[in-house]
Structure 1
Amino acid sequence: MEGQIARLLPEIGKAPPPAAPRAPDFDADWFRPAQRTKPPAAAPAPATAPEKMATAPVSGIVAPGLAAFAPVTLAVAPAPPSEDREALIAAAEARGREAGRAEALTQAEERLAAERDAFEERLAQARRDWAEGEGAALAGQLTAAFAGLDAALSERVARLLAPVLTESLRRQAVEALAAAVTRLLAEPQPAAISVTGPEDLIAALSARLSGLSAAIAFTASDATEVTVSAGETVIETELSAWRRLIAAAVAEA
């Protein structure tokens, strides 16, 4: 028991802990102003000595939060910067120069495109004119060249064919004479038959009439035609006329 009392003695000697601060109570009477009302008239009370009010230490009074009553500062808009007229004029001039440059560039491009189109049109027209002129000249030259080639070929072919045609005519003449002499000898009373003409044709005709040559008198002469005589019948070739026609054709070629 004495031990317990001894332990409690130091606690009793200590001062009580200070009261914890409390939030302000706006509903308390110290904050709300007193309403002034006129009390009903009453009989005057006997005068008594005023009671002494208990005062609390200043440190124990808890002040309300001052942050709630701090003055509010309004945000003031910054003043607009002062205009630099020279800078504005320079910027406007730069924009004007840029716009003028862009417009001039556009006009130059349009003019260049128009000049290019006009040049291409002139070039195409010049090519058409040149092609027409050169085409006409080439056509004339080709026509003249083909005409000359035709004449040259005709002349050469005619000269090459003249001997062939002459020989062909001679061969046809011999065959025709042989057939005529054969018909004359086939008559019931054939007359004496004599044949005169160039030696080469006489030889060719005699060879063709080899089986009948004994009844025919062949005589070579300087004449150009072959003549077959049988009584009153006379047969003569026309080799000279054909030769003249061939020579004229060759000369015209």
Structure 2
Amino acid sequence: MTPRPVALYLGRFGDHERPDSAREQLCELDDVEEPVEEPAAASRDDEQRAREKARDEGYAEGFAAASHEQEEMRRAEHLAFEQQIVKERDRWTQDEGARLGAKMEAALAEIETRIGASAARILRPFLVRQAGRKAIDELAESLKQMLSGSRNPLVEITGPEDLLAALQTRLAGSAACAVWTPGPTMDVRIIADQTLIESRIQAWIQRIEASPK
């Protein structure tokens, strides 16, 4: 209740208009609206702090969400990068394996060719000698059969001097009626009556010479 002056309630004796005036003033005062009190400064400060707090919390939540999203993107990119590295390594391994395999096959083939050529080069003289020995053995056996009969035909023998000497040694004097004639050819030729025997050494040598060098 709003306090009012006491004078408003007191009347003056002998003044008939005063009470009415006082009553009118009281009515006027009753008609006056009481002033509305404004919010306190502390309440305004609380509201301001609440708004600032809500704003800061919103910023913090947004920053945390953005940071989380960025971290997830970074992890996804890192995982994709590692997977790409694995794929590239596998592809490189396969390509290098195929390339090295082809090189190794080519190198082994070249080594095999070189070994074969070296072996042929080393064995060629031996094979020629072996072919000559085999031819001499066969010719000696054929001559022994021809000269073992009672006819003892005239035998003409031509060929390289070294092979003729080897053939004479193998016959051991059983071909006393043979005519030995050194010749320029590699083959030994034996003629007895109508029979012709040839060693074919030259053909053996040609086959050996035709082998890879």
TM over 0.5: yes
- Pairing partner for 1:84 from 38, 41, 46: 46
2:61 matches 1:99: yes
Structure 1 match to 2:185: 223
Q: Output the amino acid matched with 1:96.
A: G
Count of residue pairs brought into register by the alignment: 171
> Greater CA radius of gyration, 1 or 2?
1
- Pairing partner for 1:137 from 99, 108, 113: 99
Partner SS for 2:75: helix
2:199 matches 1:199: no
Can you list the C-alpha shifts for 1:70-101, whole angstroms capped at 9, x where unaligned?
xxxxxxxxxxx978223322332332233223
2:115 matches 1:153: yes
Structure 2 match to 1:117: 79
Runs of 4+ residues deviating >6 angstroms: none
- Pairing partner for 1:244 from 183, 195, 206: 206
Sequence identity percentage: 33
Question: Relative contact order (C-alpha < 8 Å, sep 6+): which is higher?
Answer: 2
Can you list the C-alpha shifts for 1:151-197, whole angstroms capped at 9, x where unaligned?
33332222222111111100100110011011112224332333221
Measured in 2, the distance between the counterparts of 1:222 and 1:125 equals: 73
Partner SS for 2:176: helix
Contact 2:159 2:186 in 1 (8 A): yes
Measured in 1, the distance between the counterparts of 2:169 and 2:136 equals: 10
Q: Output the amino acid matched with 1:154.
A: G
| Greater alpha carbon shift after TM alignment, 108-117 vs 185-194 | 185-194
Partner SS for 2:197: strand
TM-score, normalised by the number of residues in structure 1: 0.60
Query: RMSD across aligned C-alpha pairs, in angstroms?
Result: 2.4
Q: Which runs of 5+ in 2 are unaligned?
A: 1-41
Contact 2:152 2:177 in 1 (8 A): no
Identify the structure with the greater helix proportion.
Answer: 2
Can you list the C-alpha shifts for 1:17-48, whole angstroms capped at 9, x where unaligned?
xxxxxxxxxxxxxxxxxxxxxxxxxxxxxxxx
Can you list the C-alpha shifts for 1:217-236, whole angstroms capped at 9, x where unaligned?
33323232111222221211
Measured in 1, the distance between the counterparts of 2:159 and 2:153 equals: 19
Measured in 1, the distance between the counterparts of 2:129 and 2:147 equals: 27
Partner SS for 2:125: helix
Contact 2:161 2:182 in 1 (8 A): yes
